Structure 1
Amino acid sequence: MKKQFAVIGLGRFGGSIVKELNELGMEVLAIDVNEEKVNEYASVATHAVMADTTDENTLRSLGIRNFDHVIVAIGDNIQSSILTTLMLVEIGVDHITVKAQNDYHEKVLSKIGAHKVVHPERDMGIRIAHNLVSKNVLDYLELSDEFSIVEIEAGARVDGYTLIDLDLRAKYGCNIMAVKRGEDINVSPAAEDVLKHGDVLIVIGADRDITRMEQDLFDDDSD
């Protein structure tokens, strides 16, 4: 059975969610106060409506309580974002994800009952910063304030070494979740697996340990 999603706010963030959910075969209700935005996504979403979501009666008339997940992706209007989230909580929506503009906004959203708060701009900034600092770090996902998952490209320093040779868990406290070589992905690689220059390692660990490991083994000065 298809899950039903409602996306409130059809800016770049909300619009991209609508498109991706549609690609994944989900049923999506797209909502915005701007008629142009609604018209833009009318052919993408299952349904698209123009509505003021700060009004509880409007939300109830849309049957918002029946949706599996509601994403509040309202852009610059923090007041509307907070009021909409509050209405959704009071109506009893099961899963509410809200885009936050800043840390203060996040605190308010969490206090009034948002189930998940995301910072797409901040998170993207963190990922870009890590990519800029190290040419070997291809992607970065923050799990908490101290732990992350990163994609690191193997350089010449580790070419021909096995995972047991490098002993990353003992030396750095990092675990290799998978190794990508071209189109092939080796999930949970064996200790005897040999790394090659250009392999992409998916690593999980504490930020300080990942940084130390990357500097010691993957930052090839000769590249």
Structure 2
Amino acid sequence: MKKEIAVIGLGRFGGSIVMELSEMDAEVLVIDTDEARVNEYQEYYSEGIIGDSTDEAMLKSIGIHNYDNVIVAIGDNIQASILTTLILKDLGVEKVTAKAQNAYHGRVLEKIGADIVVHPERDMGRRIAHRLVSSAVVEYLEVSSSHSIIEYSANLKLENKRINDLNLKDKFGISIIAINRDNDIIVSPDGQITILTGDILILIGSDAQLNNFENTMERLK
């Protein structure tokens, strides 16, 4: 059975989600006040509505509570984002994912019941910063407000050494949770495994611990 997902707001963030959901064969409903935007993405959704998402009667009439997930991707109108999220939860939508413009907006969204709050601009900024500071960082993923996962390309200081000998847990407080070796994922690698040239280490730790590791590796180059 296909997932039924509604996306409210068709800016760059909302539009990109709609296109990805289409690739994943989901049933997608889109809502936006701008007719041009609704028309722009018409090949990617099942149903499009030109309307105001703060209109509770409209949301109720389309049965918004029946959708598996509703994504509030409204751009610059923070008031509309908050009010829409509040209405969705009042109407019984099981899972609401909302985009936050800033930290304060995110806290408000959490307070009024958003199940997932995303910070795309902040997260992209952090991802770019990590790549700029450390050339070995392939990818960065925030898992909480204080902990993250990074994909780190093994350098000369790590290659040809066993995981146990690296002692990353004691030295930096971080853990290797997987290794990407030629697109073959080694999950929870044994401490006796030797790091090879080309390995990508998937590391988890606090932001401070990961930053310390990255900076130390850069200095040792």
Q: Which amino acid aligns with 1:39?
A: N
Structure 2 counterpart of 1:199: 199
Question: Structure 2 matches for 1:93-132, cutoff 5 A?
Answer: 93-132=93-132
Partner of 1:106: helix, strand, or coil?
helix
Q: Is the 8 A contact 2:155 2:197 kept in 1?
A: yes
Per-residue CA distance 1:160-213 (angstroms, 9 max, x = gap) = 111122122233322111111222222221212111233110001122222333
- 2:151 aligns to what? 151
TM-score, normalization: structure 1?
0.92
Q: Which residue identity is paired with 1:41?
A: Y
| 3-state SS of 2:43 partner | coil
Q: How does 1:172-191 map to 2 (within 5 A)?
A: 172-191=172-191
Q: CA deviation at 1:221?
A: 5.2
Which consecutive unaligned segments of at least 5 residues does structure 2 have? none
Q: Deviations over 1:21-73 (max 9, x none)?
A: 11112111011111111111111111112111111111111110111110000
For 1:57 and 1:212, locate their aligned partners in 2 and report how far apart those are by CA, in whole Å. Answer: 52
Secondary structure of 2:44's counterpart equals coil
> TM-score scaled by structure 2?
0.93
Residue in 1 that maps onto 2:83: 83
Partner of 2:35: 35
Looking at structure 2, the residues matched to 212 and 108 of structure 1 have their Cα atoms a distance apart, in angstroms, of: 32
The one-letter code matched in structure 1 to 2:218 is: D
Q: Please tell me whether the aligned partners of residues 72 and 81 of structure 2 are also in contact (alpha carbons under 8 angstroms).
A: yes
Aligned pairs, number: 221
Alpha-carbon RMSD across the aligned residues, in angstroms, is 1.6
Residue 219 in structure 1 maps to residue 218 in structure 2 = yes
Helix, strand or coil at the partner of 1:209: helix
Q: 1:213, 1:109 → 2: CA distance? A: 33
